[in-house]
Amino acid sequence: VSSNRLYHEKVIDHYENPRNVGSFLKTEKNVGIGLVGAPACGDVMKLSIKVNEAGIIEDVRFKTFGCGSAIASSSYMTERVKGMTLEEAGKIKNTEIAQELSLPPVKLHCSMLAEDAIKAAIRDYDSKRKATGNMKAGHI
């Protein structure tokens, strides 16, 4: 990538052809929703995960109100976590996303939104399960 290009082609691709746009209903069982914002810029990201009985993320959607890097980061995140266990997904670092998309330093917080969003979605899902007294071994 030449240094005079601010955006890597992968960012443009996710921006032009976002994967897995949308959201699941909060009321659906097996759904966890993470809604997070970046105080610095006011951008907002919502990530919805659908988790199967084995604790694997079988489907995922995003909605992002924000910059191209935030949209690309969330789109990339949806591709990345599909098929992962909650534990694996919870370990994804924003730096990996930034590296994959070749985000410039000023856009690091955009990838942080994606890390925050997946963590929030997992927390939401876990608290929902606890609330229904339906805990299963395999992930906490």
Binding site for ligand FES (CB under 6 A): 38, 41, 43, 66-67, 69-70, 107, 109-110, 113
When the beta carbons of 12 and 38 are compared against ligand FES, the nearer one is 38
Catalytic member of 5, 6, 22, 41: 41
Q: Which of 110, 118, 120, 122 is catalytic?
A: 110
**Residue 8: both structure tokens together:** 């890597």
Full DSSP string of 64-91: EES-HHHHHHHHHHHHHHTT-BHHHHHT
Q: How many residues does the chain have?
A: 140
* CB of 101 vs ligand FES, minimal distance in Å: 12
Kindly tell me which of 50 and 109 has the beta carbon lying closer to ligand FES: 109
To ligand FES, the closest distance from the beta carbon of 40 in angstroms equals: 6
Say how far apart CA 59 and CA 78 lie, in whole Å.
8
Alpha-carbon distance 29 to 111, whole Å? 28
Nearest to 64 by CA among 14, 104, 99: 14
For this structure, is 110 an active site residue? yes
Between 109 and 129, whose beta carbon lies closer to ligand FES?
109
Q: Which residues are catalytic?
A: 41, 110
